[in-house]
């Protein structure tokens, strides 16, 4: 596993300024468990664990994983839902010096196999079932396709696999872990092709959530609810469950973000802060006037992952009785927050400003020249918690990073006085469907695997509820009869996350591109989108 390397002068600067403190995930959990062992750390429907219990369970998990013969630096795909066991299992992985690769519960065989191949993972960790889905047969299928996955470890009933809490423990010492080494691999939203893997170090990631916890005012009395799938960077680290544990707060695991489930937990646990994507915020605002639950403990609702329109943002306080915090972040690094005491117009009208004084932000025109303040342009960034490269992706790295190490985010933003950013749109071609990023190219490649499909172009269409929905324009082969439900069923059969199945399929005889000569795939998608919107 290569180390994530910032050039020396940057690494020294980030250490000098105290951003990187030479602490690992294992170090901070041990420190919290020593300082306040009996304080509640994580709660779900079945479990209420103190900091001491989480550490004890994590150490047991680490010994079990080492007992399987896994070696420091080995990768472990972690596909777990929002359960307390996520925390103890992942810290177990860290304590054993192993590297989690975070997959979403929605991911299926195609995605898991890709993560396994890209990361060279040696194990897969799952829950037995969640929300009606059995993960064990899926894991078997992945293991069959990728023999390098030597072990499937299950939280709950293991079926044909191994139970995490029954692994024979190694009696070896837990390894020393280097804080500047890669701690885990996060999944990128990915604008082109398949998801890339994002290497984050202990030093850089701990800085991002330590500083986030401070910005969000977390302390021992705070109760953070993880409402989005915790494998996402937002509920993981902005400030997320990691920031909450760092600050000694309590983490409540919410199994799904429906208003009924979430409001019930807010009332029962006295939740003070949580984070959601815009469609969930809309649902909650709609449900709040009729709920039987007392949600008055909620002080801060964070909204991010996709653009929250000002009209909706302006309604949050009235509907939910709490402060809105807009969060504009990315798993590659840079995270922006509106501050809790910002004036109302900033909170409603912007997506916040960066965490760090040393987050460098450029807003450039198409030629790479800075645009005047307030004008839209491409957002590029580098800083103490933004990666300099994806894992094993030489050609994507050449496109996504400038030679001097800036990450091209693909977002079009305006920068206002004070460094506040307003997200205007996006240069790349992914679909931001309720915060889930879908690569048009990836879906097109799946559709082209159908023998009846001659060509396909997938575009985002504005959607009142989802923000954007996906629409596949399909040209059939001659003499082929296919209907939309069949195309969708075909996509489901490809073993991909359900959110990637096109919301809409439109059959067209041709793309009408001959009249304008050869155009790029991006231009084609733009034309199809424009024509669709014109024709209503
Ligand atoms: C508009 N677009 C946004 C926002 C993200 C915190 C919060 C979110 C993410 C996340 C994250 C947006 N308004 N408020 O990692 O730590 C779009 C942008 C961005 C992309 C990144 C975090 N917040 N976006 O969403 O890696 O296009 O991270 O580049 O999933 O989401 O997606 P992702």
- CB of 138 within 6 A of ligand 1: the answer is no
Write down the pTM of the prediction. Answer: 0.96
Mean pLDDT of 373-388: 98
Q: What digits encode the pLDDT tens for the residues 77-88?
A: 999 999 999 999
The token pair at 324 is 């809105």
Q: Measured from the CA of 351, which atom of ligand 1 is nearest?
A: 14
Q: Measured from the CA of 436, which atom of ligand 1 is nearest?
A: 30
Q: What digits encode the pLDDT tens for the residues 5-58?
A: 899 999 999 999 999 999 999 999 999 999 999 999 999 999 999 999 999 999
pLDDT range class, residue 514, cuts 50, 70, 90: low
pLDDT range class, residue 498, cuts 50, 70, 90: very high
Q: Give residue 324's pLDDT.
A: 98
Q: What digits encode the pLDDT tens for the residues 79-115?
A: 999 999 999 999 999 999 999 999 999 999 999 999 9
Cα 145 to middle of ligand 1, angstroms:
32
Q: Give residue 189's pLDDT.
A: 78
Q: 481 near 516, Cβ under 8 Å?
A: no
Mean pLDDT of 305-313: 97
The residue whose CA has the least distance to atom 16 of ligand 1 is: 234
Q: 436 near 469, Cβ under 8 Å?
A: no
Q: 384 near 356, Cβ under 8 Å?
A: yes
- CB of 338 within 6 A of ligand 1: the answer is no
User: Would the pLDDT of 293 be above 60?
Assistant: yes
Q: How far does the chain reach from its first CA to its final CA, in angstroms?
A: 50
Phi, psi of 509 (to 5 degrees): -70, -30
Q: Backbone dihedral region of 529: left (phi > 0), alpha (psi from -120 to 50 degrees) or beta?
A: alpha
What is the C-alpha R_g of the chain?
23
Q: What is the 3-state secondary structure (H, E, C) of 90-123?
A: HHHHHHCCCEEEECCCCCCHHHHHHHHHHHCCCE
Structural domains in the chain plus CATH codes: 25-40+47-177 (3.40.50.980), 430-535 (3.30.300.30)
Cα 424 to middle of ligand 1, angstroms:
13
User: Would the pLDDT of 67 be above 60?
Assistant: yes
DSSP-assigned states of every residue in 187-253? EP--SSSSPPEEEEEHHHHHHHHHHHHHHTT--TT-EEEE-S-TTSHHHHHSSHHHHHHHTT-EEEE
- Per the model's pLDDT, the better-predicted residue between 527 and 327 turns out to be 327
Q: What digits encode the pLDDT tens for the residues 383-440?
A: 999 999 999 998 999 999 999 999 999 999 999 999 999 999 988 788 999 999 999 9
- CB of 470 within 6 A of ligand 1: the answer is no
Q: Measured from the CA of 303, which atom of ligand 1 is nearest?
A: 14
Q: Give residue 516's pLDDT.
A: 62
Listed in sequence order, the residues at least 6 apart from 71 whose beta carbon sits closer than 8 Å to its beta carbon are 97
Helices (H), 331-430: 344-349, 394-400
- CB of 355 within 6 A of ligand 1: the answer is no
- CB of 205 within 6 A of ligand 1: the answer is no
Omega of the bond leading into 261 within 30 degrees of 0 (cis): no
Query: To test ligand 1's pocket by mutation, which of 328, 410, 430 has the most ligand atoms within 8 angstroms of CB?
Result: 328
Q: Give residue 66's pLDDT.
A: 98
Q: Measured from the CA of 304, which atom of ligand 1 is nearest?
A: 14
User: Would the pLDDT of 374 be above 70?
Assistant: yes
Distances (CA, A) of 310 to 251, 326, 420: 29, 11, 15
- CB of 307 within 6 A of ligand 1: the answer is yes
Q: What is the 3-state secondary structure (H, E, C) of 132-166?
A: CEEHHHHHHHHHHHCCCCCEEEEECCCCCCEEHHH
Mean residue pLDDT of the chain comes to 96
Rounded Cα distance, 72 and 178, in Å: 11
Rounded Cα distance, 413 and 397, in Å: 22
Q: Give residue 428's pLDDT.
A: 76
- CB of 429 within 6 A of ligand 1: the answer is no
Q: 408 near 426, Cβ under 8 Å?
A: no
Cα 305 to middle of ligand 1, angstroms:
4
Distances (CA, A) of 349 to 309, 311, 417, 427: 8, 9, 13, 21
pLDDT range class, residue 220, cuts 50, 70, 90: very high
Q: Parallel, antiparallel, or unpaired for β 467-476 and 504-507?
A: parallel
Rounded Cα distance, 182 and 235, in Å: 20
Cα 478 to middle of ligand 1, angstroms:
41
């Amino acid at each position: 596993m290569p180390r994530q390397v910032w050039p020396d002068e940057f690494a020294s600067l980030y250490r000098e300024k105290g951003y990187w403190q030479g602490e690992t995930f294992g170090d901070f959990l041990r420190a919290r468990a020593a300082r306040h062992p009996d304080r509640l750390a994580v709660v779900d429907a079945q479990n209420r664990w103190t900091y001491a219990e989480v550490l004890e369970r994590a150490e047991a998990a680490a010994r079990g994983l080492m007992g399987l013969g896994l070696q420091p630096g080995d990768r472990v795909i972690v596909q777990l839902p929002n359960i307390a066991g996520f925390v103890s299992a992942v810290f177990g992985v860290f304590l054993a010096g192993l590297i989690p690769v975070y997959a979403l519960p929605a991911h299926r065989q195609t995605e898991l196999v890709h993560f396994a191949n890209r990361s060279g993972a040696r194990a897969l960790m799952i829950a037995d079932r969640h929300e009606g889905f059995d993960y064990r047969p899926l894991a078997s299928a992945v293991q069959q396709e990728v023999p390098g996955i030597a072990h499937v470890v299950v939280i709950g009933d293991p079926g044909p696999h191994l139970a995490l809490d029954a692994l024979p423990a190694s009696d070896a010492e837990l390894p020393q872990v280097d804080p500047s080494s890669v701690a885990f691999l996060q999944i990128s939203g990915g604008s082109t092709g398949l998801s890339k893997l994002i290497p984050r170090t202990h030093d850089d990631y701990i800085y991002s959530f330590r500083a986030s916890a401070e910005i969000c005012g977390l302390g021992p009395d705070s109760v953070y609810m993880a409402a989005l799938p915790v494998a996402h960077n937002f509920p993981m680290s902005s400030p997320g469950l990691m920031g909450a544990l760092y600050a000694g707060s309590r983490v409540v695991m919410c199994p799904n973000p429906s208003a009924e489930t979430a409001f019930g937990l807010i009332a029962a646990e006295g939740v003070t802060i949580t984070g959601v994507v815009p469609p969930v915020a809309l649902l909650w605002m709609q449900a709040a006037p009729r709920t039987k639950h007392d949600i008055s403990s909620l002080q801060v609702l964070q909204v991010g992952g996709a653009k929250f329109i000002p009209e909706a943002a302006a309604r949050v306080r009235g509907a939910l009785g709490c402060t809105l915090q807009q969060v504009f972040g990315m798993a590659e690094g840079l995270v922006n927050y509106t501050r809790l005491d910002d004036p109302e117009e900033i909170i409603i009208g912007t997506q916040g400003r960066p965490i760090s004084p040393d987050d460098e932000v450029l807003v450039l025109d198409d030629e790479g020249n800075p645009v005047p303040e307030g004008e839209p342009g491409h957002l590029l960034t580098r800083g103490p918690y933004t990666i300099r490269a994806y894992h094993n992706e030489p050609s994507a790295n050449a496109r996504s990073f400038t030679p001097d190490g800036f990450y091209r985010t693909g977002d079009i933003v305006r920068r206002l006085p004070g460094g506040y950013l307003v997200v205007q749109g996006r240069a790349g071609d992914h679909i931001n469907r309720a915060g889930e990023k879908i690569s048009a190219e990836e879906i097109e490649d799946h559709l082209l695997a159908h023998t009846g499909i001659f060509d396909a172009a997938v575009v985002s269409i504005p959607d009142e509820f989802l923000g954007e929905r996906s629409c596949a324009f399909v040209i059939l082969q001659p003499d082929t009869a296919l209907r939309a439900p069949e195309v969708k069923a075909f996509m489901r059969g490809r073993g991909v996350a359900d959110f990637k199945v096109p919301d809409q399929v439109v059959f067209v005889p041709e793309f009408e591109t001959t009249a304008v000569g050869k155009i790029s795939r991006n231009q084609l998608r733009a034309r199809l989108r424009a024509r669709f919107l014109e024709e209503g």
